[in-house]
Structure 1
Amino acid sequence: MFKVFYKLPICSLSLKSDGEFLTEVDFCFEENFEENSCELLEFANWELKNYFSKKLKVFKTPLKIQGTSFEIKVYKALMQIPYGQTVTYKELAEIINHPKAFRAVGNANSKNIIPIFIPCHRVLAKNSIGGYNGGINIKKFLLQNEGVKI
């Protein structure tokens, strides 16, 4: 298992890889492990640097997408939401042909272990920003970085 950090002004990201795929991204406030990088994580860090400097809009880092078939369907749909755009949980449910499953879509988003690369921050509640595993401040930070007005 390989691990590195990526520092943001608001927190750090812990990136994990099996050497072939990015397997996990965590928001953290302490860097409490020794880094052990690999080529894939160096590429992921390069992509993050370019994403946060607004030069990259689509990630190419290979991801190990895991979950139920429904969750994987949600994650693949999330990766189709363009940079700087948002959808509601209901709209995402309609996109994946499960129009009444907007709560299940929200639940799948909450289980996303590769945030940013699988951009669940681009999904909003009907009348609010909605929730986010990293916290609302991080969600706002990510959306504002993409130019979304909050």
Structure 2
Amino acid sequence: MYEAVVDTPLGIACIRGSEKGITEIRVSDDPSLKRTIPDELRTVCTQLQEYFEGSRKIFEVPLQPGGTPFQKKVWEALLEIPYGKRISYMDLAKKLGDPKAIRAVAGANAKNPVWILIPCHRVVGTDGSLTGYAGGLHRKKWLLNHESPSGQTILFS
């Protein structure tokens, strides 16, 4: 298992994974973390940089997040949400076949271990409001505005 630590506009990304896939990306505000990029994680670091620069909308790296079968099912559904689009927690629960599972879907969303690559930030409240984000609502707001189709429109102030 390798770890990369890189700067992003939203904080320091700590990336863990191997040749088989990325297992975790989390964001930190700890300035003491040593920046490093092992060769095995260079591709994901480059793709994250391209995403933040606005030139990448789809990630092309293997993922291997650890979780329960239900969590993995939710995360697979998150991967189907296109760049620049949003879905509500209710719509996600319906898509997975059980509208009553909205809290379980939200819980799985909150436990997403692969920040940005599995786009849990694209899930909003039924009324379109920003709700819950493990990385902080300020980061969710930034990501949604970054992915805004016009590139100029501020969706959330």
TM-score by length of 1: 0.92
Could you say what secondary structure the match of 1:134 adopts? coil
Identity value in percent: 35
Preserved CA contact (<8 Å) 2:13 2:25: yes
Q: For the residues of structure 1 that align with 2:9 and 2:37, how far apart are their CA atoms? A: 22
Give the equivalent residue in structure 1 for 2:132: 131
Q: Distance in 1 between matches of 2:32 and 2:62?
A: 25
Q: Which residue matches 2:28?
A: 28
Residue pair 1:78, 1:120 contacting (<8 A) in 2 also = yes
CA contact (8 A) 2:89 2:106 kept: yes
RMSD: 1.6
- My pick for the range that moved more, 10-19 or 107-116, is 10-19
The Cα shift of 1:50 comes to 1.1
Match of 2:99, SS state, is coil
C-alpha change, 1:117 and 1:40, in structure 2 (3 Å) is farther
CA distance in 2, matches of 1:26, 1:110: 12
In 1, Cα distance between equivalents of 2:123 and 2:53: 22
- When structure 1 is superposed on structure 2, of 38-47 and 107-116 the one drifting more is 38-47
Alignment-derived partner of residue 118 in structure 1? 118
TM-score normalised to structure 2 length: 0.88
Which one-letter code corresponds to 1:96 in the other structure?
A: L
Question: Aligned partners of 2:143, 2:26: CA distance in 1, in Å?
Answer: 14
Q: Which residue of 2 aligns with 1:16?
A: 16
SS in 2 for 1:6: strand
- Name 1:97's counterpart in structure 2: 97
Gaps of 5+ in 2: 150-154
Which 4+ stretches in 1 moved above 3 angstroms?
31-40
C-alpha distance in 1 between matches for 2:116 and 2:130: 16
Q: For structure 1, which runs of at least 5 residues remain unmatched after alignment? A: none
Shift of 1:32: 4.0
| 2:146 partner letter | N
What amino acid sits opposite 2:74 in the alignment?
V
Please give the alpha-carbon distance, in whole angstroms, between the structure 2 residues aligned to 1:57 and 1:9: 16
